[in-house]
């Protein structure tokens, strides 16, 4: 059986390569456009979420301030308890103790942070193997 002769309508190798290059370029551009569109939605949602968290934190701060005053007036108990200045001082000392405890616990956790030694060692081994090979 003899091979078929090449017809004028058959694409050439150059044309096939050109078409494939154009299609790959088009595909990459479409993927980039899709990624940009997805990122826009994610950034908008993230911005909205951050705004809501900031508002919640501000309202939480206001609540702590109101709670502090309420606790001091509870200790004062309409004049039946401690004097008002002592009540506010007790609340302040309470917050200082809690803050100091949290700072100490945070310091202990930060001291536990270590460099990723195994990953660094593996990367150095890979680098030396690539330089040799």
Q: Which tops the pLDDT comparison, 131 or 10?
A: 131
Count of the separate structural domains present in the chain? 1
Q: Is the pLDDT of residue 132 over 90?
A: no
pLDDT at 105: 96
Whether 86 and 98 have beta carbons less than 8 Å apart is answered as no
pLDDT one-digit tens code per residue, 1-45: 666 765 667 778 888 889 989 999 999 899 999 888 888 888 899
Q: Is residue 47 part of a domain?
A: yes
Arithmetic mean of pLDDT, 91-112: 96
Between CA 56 and CA 49 the distance in angstroms is: 10
Mean pLDDT of the chain: 89
pLDDT at 7: 67
* Structural domain of 44: 14-113
Q: Is residue 45 part of a domain?
A: yes
């Amino acid at each position: 059986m003899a091979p078929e002769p090449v017809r004028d309508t058959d694409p050439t190798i150059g044309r096939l390569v050109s078409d494939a290059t154009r299609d790959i370029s088009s595909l990459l551009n479409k993927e980039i456009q899709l990624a940009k569109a997805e990122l826009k939605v994610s950034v908008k949602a993230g911005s909205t979420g951050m705004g809501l968290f900031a508002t919640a934190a501000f309202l939480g701060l206001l609540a702590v301030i109101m709670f502090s005053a309420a606790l001091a007036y509870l200790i004062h108990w309409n004049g039946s308890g401690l004097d008002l200045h002592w009540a506010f001082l007790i609340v302040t000392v309470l917050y200082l103790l809690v803050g100091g405890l949290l700072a100490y616990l945070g310091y202990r956790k930060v001291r536990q942070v270590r460099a990723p030694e195994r990953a660094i060692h593996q990367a150095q081994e890979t680098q030396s193997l690539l330089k040799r090979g």
